[in-house]
Amino acid sequence: MNEIFFITLGLLGLWFGSDFAVEAARRIAVKLKVSDLIIGLTITSIGTSLPEISTNILAGFSTLAEKDASGIAVGNIIGSDLAQITLLLGIVGFLATLTIPMRSLKRDGFMLFIALILMYITAIDGHVSRGEGVILVLAYIIYLIYLLNQERVLENKKTKSKSEKRDYKIGIDLIKTIVGLTVVVVSAYLIVENGVSMALQIGITESVIGIFVGLGTSIPELTVSLRAIKERAGELSLGNLIGSNITDPLLSFGLGASVAGVTISQSVLQFDFVYWMAATTIALFLIYNHMNLNRKESSVLIILYLLFIYLKLTFFLTK
């Protein structure tokens, strides 16, 4: 099948693109004395969230054209973020023990809950208006400004990297970052488009399709995180996953809702949202408990994702 070929091609592209993005982002971080965590929470997270952003914006325009794609938009965000905070974080935790500073966990973990709560409040009546979408986007911008301002007052790290030279050109790595993230986005598009096509052929409903779309659009976060681990930048890996879970409910979903509004079913509100919040709470608790994530705790996260898929397909397949 052509879909299988393009999905395979997309996976290869994701690996290549993420390699470029992580290496270039790390060099820029070292040169500018910015921590790996901040890079992961901002530039890399927004870049790897472009599939979710583009999917939700396109879904908004589709709704304007009287082809309501709200189910895909909402399912994309919940499916992607739930996969990241459970399955992807579990996989990454299996490959390396992830640690995060207490300051960062309190700040970004708290903001992650705020992002989920804000999205839920706007959706609780079953419809997110354009104005509410704009509010979500503004909330993300405020968070981003706060994050960057806070980093400026922190003491610069003592870094002696062999890749840091006096004639170092930031522009070159900026181009590499853009090229790498572009390849990631295009590759994710191939995976999502062909994955949805295969799902439609076997008659999966819109809500379930959103899960597959979300899993596909979360692959950039996984590949970037895996490359970060390979480069021994575990802080960047964890920061990227947490950052994306803040970016998607506020920026990705907010941009899509600001185009045409989004309608959300009661089954999604009562099951998907609740499970998403519970899984996020468990994930952050496991990290907070020891300030790291080991293999046993990673197993719990993976099981949480598999349980969600089982419950969704068993009880909510046609809802």
- CATH code of the domain in which 50 resides: 1.20.1420.30
- What distance in Å separates the CA atoms of residue 111 and residue 196, rounded to the nearest whole number? 32
pLDDT in tens, the chain (319 residues): 687 788 788 878 877 887 787 778 778 877 887 766 676 566 666 777 878 888 888 788 878 877 777 888 899 899 999 999 999 999 988 887 766 667 777 788 889 999 999 999 999 999 999 999 999 999 999 998 888 777 665 545 444 444 444 455 788 888 988 898 888 888 877 877 776 677 678 777 777 888 888 888 787 778 777 877 777 666 666 777 888 899 999 999 999 999 999 999 898 999 999 999 999 999 999 888 877 788 899 999 999 999 999 999 999 887 5
- Token look-up 């899509």 returns 256
Buried b (16+ CB within 10 A) or exposed e, 190-228: bbbebbbeebeeeebebbbbbbbbbbbbbbbbbbbbbbb
163, part of any domain: no
Sign for the pseudo-dihedral over CA of 215, 220, 224, 226: positive
- What distance in Å separates the CA atoms of residue 197 and residue 134, rounded to the nearest whole number? 31
Listed in sequence order, the residues at least 6 apart from 154 whose beta carbon sits closer than 8 Å to its beta carbon are 35
- Domain residues for the domain of 273 are 2-155+169-315
pTM of the predicted model as reported, rounded to 2 decimal places = 0.80
The tally of domains found in the chain comes to 1
- Token look-up 């990297």 returns 161
DSSP letter for each residue of 128-183: E-HHHHHHHHHHHHHHHHHHHHHHHTSPPP----TT--TT--HHHHHHHHHHHHHH
Q: What is the DSSP letter of 316?
A: S
160, part of any domain: no
240, part of any domain: yes
65, part of any domain: yes
